[in-house]
């Protein structure tokens, strides 16, 4: 069996959310090892691929992911797949040495002044979505996909929450990918986020299922050209040392929770960090605890973020 044949079988039989990403990885490596027998696929024959990816400016973390998919295909050929004689296609999968070029970008939580500059530079619809993200910790796709039918009223507390489903689901305009850690995410609303929701509710277009539509349609991403332009206009770092995308709003939310003295366990729940002890069933008392925590960042006194000089 050649690696290309093994790739075809893997893509045909595998079901996972990131299969399209796996397909890209296997397509990139195909010119280097696609026609080789499986036994000839190892670090030596992959070195040209690794070198070219690095020369093209691809991060080592991305190359690690590419190699992990290659390793997965080889492992299946050795341990799961069998030929017509009942023999594995590969005797033993090779060991891979994962590259680390120490090029990983660091998150960039925004201090109060930086966030204010960014918000002023953003178009109105992106500004609203960004404020919501910075007050809920919801990731980019969660904000873009947020639907009214995900809202859950909590009458005991006189408020509502949103629960983003972990399962992927096909809607009329695309497929919600689901939550990455396969757990529903509870989105609680402090007074700032709640005010945004009520304003969006008042301006809701008939039969539009999305909380933050733009011109009647779902916004596919926050990290677009308008975001990038606003990031530069706000004077935020554009070097490779730091990430520059909307995920920094989630880091900003987490940083403010910590400054406000919110305990680590509560921060993990609010940031949707899986710890094996998160249930998909919530009580009003549990929601009240989270509401109290997120409200602490509303009137938080501005503090500086100390960073190493680049």
Question: How would you write 8-66 as a 3-class SS string?
Answer: HHHHHHCCCCCHHHHHHHHHHHHHHHCCCEHHHCCHHHHHHHHHHHHHCCCCHHHHHHH
Reading phi first (left if > 0) and then psi (alpha if -120 to 50, else beta), residue 276 is in left
Q: At what angle do helices 43-55 and 19-33 cross, to 10 degrees?
A: 110
- Dihedral of alpha carbons 230, 236, 239, 244, sign: negative
pLDDT band at residue 91 under the 50/70/90 scheme: very high
Distance CA 246, CA 130 (A): 8
Cβ of 51: how many Cβ atoms within 10 Å?
Answer: 11
pLDDT score recorded for residue 276: 52
Instruction: Show the tokens assigned to 275.
Output: 């710890």
Assign 99 to helix, strand or coil.
coil
Residue 290 near residue 187 (C-beta atoms within 8 A) = no
Mean pLDDT is highest, among 103-107, 146-150, 272-276, for 146-150
Per-residue pLDDT, averaged over 72-96, amounts to 95
pLDDT band at residue 40 under the 50/70/90 scheme: very high
Q: At what angle do helices 124-136 and 247-259 cross, to 10 degrees?
A: 40
Q: Which residues partner with 160 through β-bridges?
A: 153
CA atoms within 13 A on the CB side of 27: 7
Residues 6+ apart with CB under 8 A from 64: 98, 99, 100
- H or E element, residue 140: helix 140-145
Per-residue pLDDT, averaged over 228-243, amounts to 94
Per-residue pLDDT, averaged over 38-63, amounts to 95
Assign 148 to helix, strand or coil.
helix
Distance CA 188, CA 37 (A): 53
pLDDT score recorded for residue 183: 87
Per-residue pLDDT, averaged over 207-234, amounts to 95
Mean pLDDT across the chain: 93
pLDDT score recorded for residue 272: 87
pLDDT score recorded for residue 274: 64
Distance CA 266, CA 262 (A): 7
pLDDT exceeds 90 at position 105: no
Return the closest-CA partner of residue 167 out of 156, 176, 158, 159. 176
Distance CA 310, CA 308 (A): 6
Round the CA-based radius of gyration of the chain to a whole number and report it: 23
263-296 per-position pLDDT tens digit: 999 999 999 886 555 455 678 888 999 999 999 9
Cα torsion through 166, 177, 103, 232, rounded to 10: -110
pLDDT score recorded for residue 278: 47
Instruction: Show the tokens assigned to 187.
Output: 């989105």
Position with higher pLDDT, 195 vs 102: 195
Position with higher pLDDT, 308 vs 94: 94
Per-residue pLDDT, averaged over 24-43, amounts to 97
Reading phi first (left if > 0) and then psi (alpha if -120 to 50, else beta), residue 24 is in alpha
Is the pTM value of this prediction over 0.85? no
Residues in the chain: 310
Percent of the chain at pLDDT exceeding 70: 97
Tokens 């033993």 map to which residue? Answer: 92
pLDDT exceeds 60 at position 55: yes
């Amino acid at each position: 069996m050649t690696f290309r044949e093994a790739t075809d079988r893997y893509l045909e039989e595998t079901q996972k959310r990131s299969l399209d990403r796996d397909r890209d990885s296997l397509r990139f490596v195909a010119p280097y090892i696609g026609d080789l027998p499986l036994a000839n696929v190892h670090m030596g024959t992959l070195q040209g691929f690794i070198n070219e990816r690095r020369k093209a400016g691809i991060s080592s973390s991305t190359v690690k992911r590419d190699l992990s998919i290659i390793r997965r295909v080889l492992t299946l050929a050795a341990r799961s797949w069998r030929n017509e004689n009942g023999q594995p296609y590969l005797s033993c999968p090779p060991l891979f040495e994962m590259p680390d070029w120490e090029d990983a970008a660091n998150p960039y939580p925004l201090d109060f002044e930086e966030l204010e500059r960014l918000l002023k530079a953003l178009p109105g619809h992106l500004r609203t979505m960004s404020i919501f993200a910075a007050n809920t910790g919801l990731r980019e796709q969660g904000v873009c996909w947020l639907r009214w039918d995900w809202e859950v009223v909590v009458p005991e507390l006189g408020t509502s929450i949103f629960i983003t489903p972990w399962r992927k689901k096909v809607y009329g305009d695309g497929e919600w990918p689901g939550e990455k850690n396969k757990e529903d995410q509870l989105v609680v609303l402090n007074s700032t986020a709640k005010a945004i929701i009520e304003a969006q509710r008042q301006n809701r277009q008939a039969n539009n299922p999305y909380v933050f539509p733009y011109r009647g349609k779902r916004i596919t991403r926050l990290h677009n050209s308008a975001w990038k332009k606003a990031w530069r206009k706000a004077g935020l770092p554009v070097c490779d040392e730091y990430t520059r995308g909307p995920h920094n709003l989630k880091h900003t939310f987490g940083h403010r929770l910590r400054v406000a003295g919110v305990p680590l366990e509560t921060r993990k729940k609010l940031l949707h960090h899986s710890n094996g002890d998160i249930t998909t069933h919530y009580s009003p008392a549990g929601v009240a605890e989270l509401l109290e925590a997120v409200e602490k960042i509303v009137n938080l006194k501005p503090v500086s973020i100390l960073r190493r000089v680049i």
